[in-house]
Chain A
């Protein structure tokens, strides 16, 4: 447990010291949203709003998470290998990336609302789905970035390996957001939607924890 908090603290410290990375992602999100505003004009219908929002968030997630294992040089990896267990490495990375993703998501949601307006969502469904979905996307991409970092050409591989893995989650999230647009949603539907998101999150995290040790050793 102490290991995990220590590793998360290290990741945050690194992020704060080399601030260009996080600033770069924020600028990237801003540019994308601005491009969307220029291309679509300020008024779009709600379904398009939902689709564009998740696409923007997906690409931001790819940018934010893909560097999580790439930036670890092989000598530093050896150093961690001596010090900690692989499980705490992957759990700390998942928690860290989920937090990063949540912060990034809230910021992009705010920015997107400023530029494109905010549709009349049923917030009881939209906000939990948004939070759980961000966590799930972050953990899936953490694992994919671990896989991609162990093989040669990184950026392209990250994209082709990552898209299929996050797609089921993304489809459910888009469906949930569109359901939230229809006004008051009955609580049974909300629970079944959120349960399926939680289920996928849990499966991804469990698989990551079981499988990561095989990626870690040489």
Chain B
């Protein structure tokens, strides 16, 4: 865990900046999406934070399987729960946006399906953890499933969208309003937003892990 307060403050500042600047800056006038393009700052950064959290969880699951330290399992599971939190927010912000842009909360879009199935896999992970009582066994088995779930995420991001001919998502194939309009001013807000939310994610993870460690009596320093 990283010591100190500076990165937490930096995360807060970046998020605050992206919320204010995201509403104030000029955005390119694109057909169909118009001003709703501002949702990019709030919706896509959720997915970025989710991927970083789930990636962290994968790293700590592999670390657990190579060293069997219960601390690694705490971090891996905490990162999954934080990832689920960001994924839910990503789905919700996306659904609100979709209602105004596409006219419906949910469409049969490859990216939406991928997001939904990945969330299902990680919710199944949470249920799997709940169903095993013995700590060491729970840690080992859920680490194995976690690696499978991450493979699923990669397939849904890397393989399936390439096979699908079209997506309603802006910037994806078969869509007229592409993200080539993502100009410099938008990048100046989007990247800080993503980094800020990722830092907030690590903060949440740290709080979660410290709480679980106190409850279970695990020494994090070791």
Q: Which A residues fall within an 8 A CB radius of B?
A: 143-144, 147, 150-153, 157, 160-161, 163-165, 167-168, 171-172, 175, 192-193, 196, 199-200, 203-204, 207, 211, 214-215, 218
Contacts and interface: CB of A to CB of B under 8 A. Distances in A.
A147 B137 contact: no
Contact of A168 (B127, B147, B159): B159
B144 A200 contact: no
B145 A199 contact: no
A199 B128 contact: no
Nearest to A154: B131
A207 B148 contact: yes
Interface in B129-158: 131-133, 137, 140-141, 143-145, 147-149, 151-152, 155-156
A150 B137 contact: yes
Given A150-B137, A172-B160, A165 B131 contact: no
A-B pairs, top 4 by smallest CB distance, nearest first, are A164-B121, A168-B155, A160-B124, A151-B132
B65 A214 contact: yes
Given A150-B137, A152-B131, A153-B131, A214 B144 contact: yes
A39 B167 CA distance: 33
Nearest to B149: A164
Contact of B163 (A175, A204, A218): A175
A187 B219 CA distance: 59
Contacts of B113: 171
Contacts of B147: 207, 211
A115 B127 CA distance: 39
B132 A207 contact: no
A157 B140 contact: no
Contact of B132 (A150, A161, A204): A150
Contact of A151 (B141, B148, B160): B141
A157 B127 contact: yes
B57 interface: no
Contacts of A143: 148
A203 B131 CA distance: 27
B155 A211 contact: no
Given A157-B127, A196-B159, A164 B118 contact: yes
A215 B128 CA distance: 14
B120 interface: yes
Most buried by A among B117, B141, B148, B159: B148
29 contacts: A143-B148, A147-B128, A150-B132, A150-B141, A151-B132, A152-B132, A153-B131, A157-B131, A160-B127, A161-B145, A164-B120, A164-B149, A164-B152, A165-B152, A168-B117, A168-B155, A175-B163, A175-B164, A193-B163, A199-B159, A200-B159, A203-B155, A207-B148, A211-B144, A211-B147, A214-B65, A215-B141, A215-B144, A218-B137
Contact of B124 (A161, A168, A203, A207): A161
A168 B140 contact: no
Contacts of B141: 147, 150-151, 215
Most buried by B among A150, A175, A203: A150
Interface string B73-106: 0000000000000000000000000000000000
B68 to A, nearest CB: 10
Given A152-B131, A168-B159, A147 B152 contact: no
Contacts of A175: 163-164
B141 to A, nearest CB: 5
Contacts of A204: 151
B93 to A, nearest CB: 22
B111 to A, nearest CB: 13
Contacts of A203: 151, 155
Nearest to B65: A214
Contacts of B148: 143-144, 165, 207, 211
A94 B17 CA distance: 53
Most buried by A among B113, B120, B133, B163: B163
Contacts of A147: 128, 141, 144-145
